[in-house]
Amino acid sequence: MSKIIYPDSHIPAELSEEVIREDSMRPTMKWGRSTQLWLGFLFMVFGWGLYAYIHQLRHGLGETAMRNYVSWGLYISTFVFFIGISHSGTLVSAILRITKQDWRMPITRIAELMTFVSLCFGGLMPIIDLGRADRIANLVIFGRVQSPLMWDVMSIVTYFTGSTIFLWLPMIPDMGLMRDRLTVVDTPFKKFKKWLYKTLAIGWTGSKSQWKRLELVMTIMTIIIIPVAVSVHTVVSYIFAMTLRPGWNSTIFGPYFVAGALYSGSAVVILAMVIFRKLYHLEKYITYRHFDLMGRVVLSLTLIYGYLNLNEYWIPAYKMATSEGHLLHDLFSGSYSTAFWLCQFGTVLFPIVVMCFPKGRTPGALTVVCIFIAIGAWVKRYLIVVPTLLHPFLPIQDVPLTWSQYFPNWVEWSVTMAAFSGMVIIVTLYAKFFPMMSMWEVVHGAHIEESKRVAFEKVEHAEEINEAKTNHKKATVVG
Amino acid sequence: MIDQNEQNGNGSGAESKATGRRNFLKFGALAAGLTVVGGGLQKVLSQDKKENPDTTVFTRDGKVFKADKACLHEYTAPPVTNAEARIGIPGKKFTMVFDLAKCDGCKKCTESCQAMHFTESDREWIKVYKMKDAETTASYYMPKPCMHCDNPPCTKVCPVGATFKREDGIVLIDDDRCIGCRSCMAACPYSARFFNWSDPMQPVAVANIPYSPEHGFPRQRGTTEKCDFCPHMIREGKMPACVSGCPMQAIYFGDQNEDAVTNSAGVTVKFSQLLEDNSAYRLLEELGTEPRVYYLPPKNRKYPKPDMESIGKENKIEGGKSDTGMGNMAM
């Protein structure tokens, strides 16, 4: 009898709990030379950025390329980009959880981690951009709730807290397991890990009531985190949309930013999936099926984002109102046209076309597409922030050349790269201490798959019997 | 009568102080003709009166007096607390009018402003634009200070209330509170705001005086600054630097409540009449920012129109080339 394969198998049902756990935890047992070299490189980049930031603190923001017209530059663009990436966790983890998409289980941890790290540094970018970071306490002492920037502070702090809890909650059973397992295995940083796992497991024993409570809290968090995530990127767009400036003065900025965030965020999750699948040999868990489904998710999000892009540019472009016209001319055919059209075609149209084909949703093709999308999303944020500032209502006349044009200088690049490397440092360290798959969820998923398979086999079997019966009947009738 | 003047002089009676200030502009106009009050300094009676008054003085509430010279002392405005600076000068609504027909683009207003506020040469709190609204329309010069909008987009977005709208119409910045987020700069449609990207130029004279939002000294790195209608001058009964510095008498400044505005020649006119007779307009009215600055159209210009070709070719600012700007003409 040939093996019946359940057609929509996302999680390897044939794998035992032990194998799943071993595969998840194996990378945390090693602290190899390559890890050290990699972290050393990242810390070098980070350290250089830190030096650049201290330089900026000592001599003022005049050390950046920003001047009076372009008063927001690479920092704020990167801020918007990072906050966008942070939507990945909510999408994959919360939205797929609430819609009971069981295939999400091997990739939820990756997505939640992406949210956490991008928020860590996303939240830092505006502080790096402050002229007087030393007065940050004024936000509390003199805070005005009428200011869009204050909405940002409130929603990002809420979202950061929420997604940290959301990352940690599903880790609790895993932490309990790893804490107990430490007594039998040998691993680097054993003492630290002992403390770490014990603290994070908060006395997890795996009793029935604990499982029940965990399930309940996770359901509550899932419901809470979705509107919070939507609010975050909406209010991030409001720091622009609440001004009168041509290019920002737009009513679709909220949904436009949220769509852009989900689109770039899920692309980055795919990239992280590709990397960890390869590095940690998770091919059995993160399958072609996952890439296909995530590809569909990104495809639909790209379609929404592309549609909003059309609205954002086509409507004012048709009318060409004076002030907006100057900006649009610059974007369509002026100094920013190359970047603008590369963004529109390379990171919207091209991904849509590629991902429409099943072959375009395989890991290889998706890697290319998602790199395009991620870089494109970043460039797009820059194109939203900078050209608008260079097209104020009143003409730019008789000012130093440095005021009337902008390109980030070494300080801004170094600090921004430090933020990126900081993100990767946290991801790397996380992956060295915690399993990159939510073990109990994958096990749970495998159980679900197993029961589905059994049910499927039963149906198949029943059909076979029915068929046999009918044949038998037919035979008797004929006989 | 005398008692009231004494009160004014000491700056203690709140009510009479208010009346006195309300009338300061009229006073300023008349002051030129009076013997004692010169150089914009106000003099008021001190407590003692002599039998033989030998000089004429003009009190802060608009009364003319004869008094002994020896009994007079120079009036200096009392220091303004931060709370007072946030409220503003009671009973006033300051406004500025630019007669574009008179403006010849000499930029003396900018220079006076820069001298008064000790700003760098690239920091034009009042900037003179060369405007040409369309290919076929006439070009003209347009000085642009902060509009001190009644519906200010900048104060709305400030997360810490470092920039605020006062009762007297002035939009000010408290640099002691500013966190340097530059939301206000992004929000301002008139590009009126500047940022101290690096350590600002600071003459020793003002580097160590106590900070007040009204004069903005000492300037601070990492904070925003802009045209402030010179409230520290107003308190002393003087005109903002740009108004008195305009050789063309093209800038009028005054109190809307009093319905009077005055230019550098000391000519005081009825504010509402000036706007009415000249079809005054406000800049970017369609944005709904309700500016407190008015423009009289450049009709029957008395001076040559600006040469639009020269934009970007003049290197007025040290060390930097200029932007071409022509493709960016917007109104």
Higher pLDDT, B318 or A271: A271
The answer to whether position A6 is within a domain reads no
Confidence band (pLDDT; 50, 70, 90) for A8?
A: low
**Of the candidates B78, B101, B259, B229, the residue with the CA atom closest to the CA atom of residue B165:** B229
Q: What pLDDT is stored for residue A10 in this prediction?
A: 59
Residue of B nearest to A241 (CA): B187
Residues B50 and B171 in one domain: no
A61 near B CB under 8 A: yes
Regarding whether B272 and B132 lie in a shared domain, the answer is: yes
Q: Which residue of B has its CA nearest to A322?
A: B330
B194–A130 C-beta distance less than 8 A:
no
Which amino acid is present at B277?
Answer: D
* Contact between chains at B316 and A139 (C-beta distance less than 8 A): no
Provide DSSP, A305-357. HHHHHHHHHHHHHHH--HHHHHHHHHHHHSTTHHHHHIIIIIIIIHHHHHHHS
| B49 plus B152 within the same structural domain | no
Q: Assess if residue A71 is contained within a domain.
A: yes
Q: How many domains does chain A have?
A: 1
- How close B156 gets to chain A, by Cα (Å)? 6
**Residue closest to A106 by CA, chosen among A373, A229, A287:** A287
**Minimal Cβ distance to B160: which of A142, A239, A401:** A142
Confidence label for A455 from pLDDT (cuts 50, 70 and 90)? confident
**pLDDT, mean of residues A48-56:** 97
pLDDT classification of B28: cutoffs 50, 70, 90: very low
Is A144's Cβ below 8 Å from some Cβ in B? Answer: yes
Q: Tell whether A73 is within 8 A of chain B (Cβ).
A: no
Dist. CA B173–CA B234, nearest whole Å: 17
Q: Scanning every residue of chain A, which has its alpha carbon at the shortest distance from the alpha carbon of B153?
A: A243
Find chain B residues with C-beta within 8 A of A245's C-beta: 186, 189
- pLDDT score of B39 more than 80: no
In angstroms, the CA A442 to CA A24 distance is 10
Q: How many angstroms separate the CA of residue B92 from the nearest CA in chain A?
A: 26
Residue B7 has pLDDT above 80, yes or no: no
- Report the pLDDT averaged over residues B224-237: 93
Q: B46 to chain A nearest CA, in Å? A: 42
Banded pLDDT at A472 (limits 50, 70, 90): confident
Question: pLDDT band at B310, cuts 50/70/90?
Answer: confident
Among A147, A242, A384, A398, pick the best mutation site for testing chain B contact (most B Cβ within 10 A).
A398
Using alpha carbons, select from B224, B46, B192 the residue that is nearest to residue B125.
Answer: B192
Q: What is the three-class DSSP state of B223?
A: coil
According to DSSP, the residues that pair with B165 across neighbouring strands are: B171
Paired sense of beta strands B127-132 and B94-99, if any:
unpaired
Cross-chain residue pair A404–B323, CB shorter than 8 Å: yes
Give this prediction's pTM.
0.85
Residue pair B58/B27 in contact (Cβ under 8 Å)? The answer is yes
Looking at the structure, do residues B106 and B250 belong to the same domain, yes or no?
A: yes
| Average pLDDT over all residues of chain A | 90
Residues B99, B31 within the same domain: no
In chain A, what residues touch B186 (CB-CB under 8 Å)? 71-72, 239-240, 243, 245, 389
List CB contacts (< 8 A) between A142 and chain B.
160-162, 177
Range of the domain at A270: 33-437
Assess contact for B236 and B44: CB atoms under 8 A: no
Asked if residue A277 is part of any domain, the answer here is yes
Is residue B305 included in any domain, yes or no? no
Radius of gyration of chain A (CA): 26
Which residues lie closer than 8 Å to A249 by C-beta, 6 or more apart? A241, A243
- A150 part of a folded domain: yes
Is residue B56 one of the residues assigned to a domain?
A: yes
Q: What is the ipTM of this complex?
A: 0.86
Higher confidence at residue A450 or residue B31?
A450
How many Å lie between the alpha carbon of A133 and the closest alpha carbon of chain B? 7
Distance, in Å, from the CA atom of B41 to the CA atom of B31, rounded to the nearest integer, reads 9
The stretch B246-262 carries a mean pLDDT of 95
The answer to whether position B251 is within a domain reads: yes
User: What pLDDT, on a 0 to 100 scale, did the predictor assign at position A272?
Assistant: 95
DSSP codes of every residue in A119-162? HHHHHHHHHHH-TTGGGTTHHHHS--TTSHHHHHHHHHHHHHHH
- The reply to whether B223 falls in a domain is yes
Tell me how far apart the alpha carbons of residues B261 and A262 are, in angstroms, rounded to a whole number.
Answer: 56
CATH code where residue A252 lies? 1.20.1630.10
Residues B33 and B180 placed together within one structural domain of the fold: no
> Chain A residues with CB inside 8 Å of B180's CB?
61, 130-133, 135
**B58 and B121 assigned to the same domain:** no
In a mutagenesis test of the B interface, which of A58, A77, A132 is the best target, namely the one with the most B β-carbons within 10 Å? A132
Interface contact flag, B223 A132, Cβ < 8 Å: yes
Contact with chain B for residue A67, Cβ under 8 A: yes
What was the pLDDT predicted at B53? Answer: 56
Instruction: Evaluate if residue B17 carries a pLDDT over 60.
Output: no
Last residue of a domain, one of B45, B74, B103: B74
| pLDDT at A95 exceeding the cut of 50 | yes
With an 8 Å Cβ cutoff, are A243 and B311 in contact?
A: no
Question: Is B40 inside a domain boundary?
Answer: yes
Confidence at residue B63, expressed as pLDDT on a 0 to 100 scale: 67
Contact residues, chain A, for B185 at CB < 8 Å: 68, 71
Contacts of B325 in chain A (CB under 8 A): 395-398, 404
Question: Residue A412 domain-assigned?
Answer: yes
Q: Do residues B129 and B268 share a domain?
A: yes
Average of per-residue pLDDT across A444-459: 80
Give A157's contacts in chain B (Cβ within 8 Å). Answer: none
Which band of pLDDT confidence, cut at 50, 70 and 90, is reported for residue A475?
Answer: low
Per-residue pLDDT tens for A316-366?
999 999 889 999 999 999 999 999 999 999 999 999 999 999 999 999 999
Evaluate if residue A50 carries a pLDDT over 60: yes
Answer whether residue B15 is part of any domain: yes
Segment A73-87 mean pLDDT: 95
Token output for A50 = 């830190």
The pLDDT score that the predictor gives to residue A240 is 96
In the three-class reduction of DSSP (H, G, I as helix; E, B as strand; rest coil), residue B177 is classed as coil
Percent of chain B with pLDDT over 90: 54
Is there a single domain that holds both residue B156 and residue B230? yes
Look at residue A168 in the predicted model and tell me its pLDDT.
95
- What residues of chain A, 397 to 416, have a C-beta less than 8 Å from chain B? 397-405
Give percent of chain A with pLDDT exceeding 90.
73
Number of domains in chain B: 2
Mean pLDDT for B278-293 is: 96
**Chain A residues 84-143 within an 8 A CB cutoff of chain B:** 126, 129-133, 135-136, 138-139, 141-143
The one-letter code for the residue type at A315 is: I
- Pairwise CB contact (< 8 Å): A138 & B321: no
Question: Is pLDDT above 90 for A128?
Answer: yes
CA distance A116 to A112: 6
Q: What was the pLDDT predicted at B301?
A: 84
Q: Do A131 and B196 touch (CB under 8 A)?
A: yes
Q: Which residues of A touch B321 (CB under 8 A)?
A: 400-401
Count contacts between A and B (CB, < 8 Å).
Answer: 190
Q: Which of B144, B287, B323 is opposite residue A244, by nearest beta carbon? A: B287
Q: Residue B114: is its pLDDT beyond 90?
A: yes
pLDDT score at A470? 78
Average pLDDT of the segment spanning B47-71: 63
Per-residue pLDDT for B30 more than 60? no
CB A68 within 8 A of CB B185: yes
- Quote the Cα angle for B277-B278-B280, to 5°: 120
A 150-179: CB under 8 A from B: 150, 153
Q: Span A259-271, mean pLDDT?
A: 94
CATH number of the domain to which B183 belongs: 3.30.70.20
Across the interface, whether the CB atoms of B179 and A243 are under 8 A apart is answered no
| Residue A26 maps to a domain | no
Q: Are residues B114 and B249 in the same domain?
A: yes
In B, minimum Cα distance to A405 occurs at: B323
**How far apart are the C-alpha atoms of B186 and B34, rounded to whole Å?**
47
Q: Are A258 and A126 in contact (CB under 8 A)?
A: no
Which residues does A146 contact at the CB level (< 8 Å), separation at least 6?
B156
Confidence of residue B59 (pLDDT cuts 50, 70, 90): low
Q: Using one digit for the tens of pLDDT, what is the confidence trace for A363-407?
A: 999 999 999 999 999 999 999 999 999 999 999 998 998 999 999
Name the band, by pLDDT with cuts 50, 70 and 90, for residue A11: low
Q: Is residue B6 scored above 80 in pLDDT?
A: no
Establish if B262 belongs to a structural domain. yes
Question: Within an 8 Å CB–CB cutoff, is residue A470 touching chain B?
Answer: no
Distance between CA A232 and CA A159 in Å, rounded? 7
Selected for mutation to probe chain A from B82, B144, B197 (highest A CB count within 10 Å) is B197
> A396 and chain B: CB distance < 8 Å anywhere?
yes
pLDDT for the residue numbered B43:
42
* Predicted pLDDT at B35: 36
- Pairwise CA distance, residues B194 & B178, whole Å: 13
Distance (Å) of CA B281 to CA A338, A409, B147, B250, B288: 40, 42, 12, 15, 13
- The verdict on B54 and B183 lying in the same domain is no
Asked if residue A173 is part of any domain, the answer here is yes
Mean pLDDT value of segment B284-293: 96
The pLDDT value given to residue A25: 86
- Is B317 domain-assigned? no
Write out the residue range of the structural domain in which residue B29 sits: 2-74
Contact assignment for B183 to A147 by CB distance below 8 Å:
yes
pLDDT tens for each residue of A187-235:
888 889 999 999 999 999 989 999 999 999 999 999 999 999 999 999 9
Assess whether pLDDT exceeds 60 at residue B317.
no
The single-letter DSSP state of residue B281 is B
CA distance B161 to chain A (A): 6
Q: How many CA atoms lie within 13 A of B297 on its CB side?
A: 11
- Asked if residue A376 is part of any domain, the answer here is yes
Q: Report pLDDT digits (tens) over A276-301.
A: 999 998 888 898 989 999 999 999 99
Q: Do A396 and B328 touch (CB under 8 A)?
A: yes
Residue A1: its pLDDT value, please?
A: 37
Q: Are residues B285 and B201 in the same domain?
A: yes
